[in-house]
Structure 1
Amino acid sequence: MKKIELSEVKNIYEYEKIREDFRRYIIDLKKKRRVEVGNRVSLVFENRDTVLFQIQEMMRAERMVDDNEIKFEVDTYNELIPERNELSATLFIEVDDPQLLRPVLDSFIGLDRGNHVYLEIGNKHKIYAEFEEGHSKDDRISAVHFIKFKFKPEQIEDFKNFENEVKIVIDHPNYKAFSIINPETRNELIKDLESN
């Protein structure tokens, strides 16, 4: 998928003019790209539009106007855009009660190491999530993780074949859940895999 270029990012003034429409579009888009896996984890699959929105909102919040600072952020956020034969997602460990935050997060320690999160395509393939480093330590884990699923060509073909059920599975000692990816979300993800 093509990376975002600095020239595509609107300045704060221009962005404010289109923000409400773009925000509504992104909210609808993220609904199609969100998968809840059990009651504590959700994934939002990223594409150019979701990433551009994050850049624009961050610029707006930080009142960024310096091109060098903006370019740095564009380069950083571009890491979320999937490469060829990849899906990219932000994984959220969800905790509503602040008093439960630490105990719940502690129960997920190790999620980002080993093969605890994967896509399962029919009974044919397991594609294990690759976690971006730096979001955990031996005794702590972040609530937000950036993950990638790297496909082989035959896995893409099987992913596109709706005769094969596709699931996101979490198999961690303290959290076991799966979710079947619905057709609307799957079609969105097929677009990602075909956009390279």
Structure 2
Amino acid sequence: MQLTGRITADSLMTLEAYARWRKQHQAEVIAHRRLRTVHLGDHLTVQFESELTLRYQVQEMLRIEKIFEEEGIEQEVEAYAPLVPDGSNWKATMLLEYPDINERKRELARLIGVEDRMFVEVEGHQRVYAIADEDLDRENDEKTSAVHFLRFEFAPSAVQAIKAGAGVKLGCDHRNYPAHVAVPAETLASLAGDLR
């Protein structure tokens, strides 16, 4: 899988080429995704995206749906390409995970607005709150969605601090889900590579 800095239809593998590549590299991609996943409490997971995770996602969708026509490929690229970090930010998929359906319904109602209360705090810098769901609104007056897309946009000084090894916390200050956690060093090393 060739990383080019930008996902385009022309930069994707054919279904046949991807099938061969997948056999050899799927475990590496899964390990990469696991490295970039941070759990915040028992019910909130943030998966920080990269070109590799998103390129893999597009290729998987094309494989599963057996999409090989140009229009279908373009639709998948349009859906996922905007989630690739572009040098001054981290982009992530946020999952609210409640296995019990009744608990999920109750908690999603209690957590309206949670996506806007997600933050990254770089040591020595102010909190950076997520810009959430830029593609479409994922909540209503009754509940929030179990899946949100987040962008954390950093000032140049915060980028430099992260690249220099400053500690970073991921957190949420929603009144019904207050939590924060230090981002592990190996995760932070991977995320620092997204910044220029």
TM-score normalised by L of structure 2: 0.91
* CA distance, structure 1, for counterparts of residue 58 and residue 144 of structure 2: 25
The residue that corresponds to 1:28 in the other structure is: 31
RMSD: 1.5
3-state DSSP of counterpart to 2:115? coil
Structure 1 unaligned blocks of 5 or more: none
Structure 2 counterpart of 1:4, from 7, 15, 22:
7
Q: Does 1:73 align with 2:76?
A: yes
Deviations 1:121-163 (A, max 9, x none): 124221110001321112121111110000111011122233x
Offset, 1:108? 1.2
Deviations 1:1-60 (A, max 9, x none): 822121221222221122133321111001110111111111111111000111011111
* CA distance, structure 1, for counterparts of residue 74 and residue 25 of structure 2: 21
Corresponding letter in the other structure for 1:167: K
Trace 1:120-139 onto structure 2 (pairs within 5 A): 120-132=121-133, 133-139=136-142
The residue that corresponds to 1:185 in the other structure is: 187
Structure 2 unaligned blocks of 5 or more: none
Q: Does 1:47 align with 2:64?
A: no
* CA distance, structure 1, for counterparts of residue 100 and residue 106 of structure 2: 11
The residue that corresponds to 1:119 in the other structure is: 120
* CA distance, structure 1, for counterparts of residue 102 and residue 143 of structure 2: 16
Corresponding letter in the other structure for 1:119: V
* CA distance, structure 2, for counterparts of residue 134 and residue 21 of structure 1: 38
* CA distance, structure 1, for counterparts of residue 131 and residue 190 of structure 2: 21
Trace 1:137-156 onto structure 2 (pairs within 5 A): 137-156=140-159
Corresponding letter in the other structure for 2:109: D
Corresponding letter in the other structure for 2:54: V
Q: Does 1:60 align with 2:60?
A: no
Kindly tell me the number of residue pairs found equivalent between the two proteins: 191
* CA distance, structure 1, for counterparts of residue 100 and residue 11 of structure 2: 39
The answer (yes or no) to whether the contact 2:115–2:150 under 8 Å persists in 1 is no
Corresponding letter in the other structure for 2:188: R
* CA distance, structure 1, for counterparts of residue 45 and residue 113 of structure 2: 17
> Which of 52-61 and 117-126 deviates more?
117-126
3-state DSSP of counterpart to 1:60? helix
> Which of 142-151 and 119-128 deviates more?
119-128
Corresponding letter in the other structure for 1:138: D
TM-score normalised by L of structure 1: 0.91
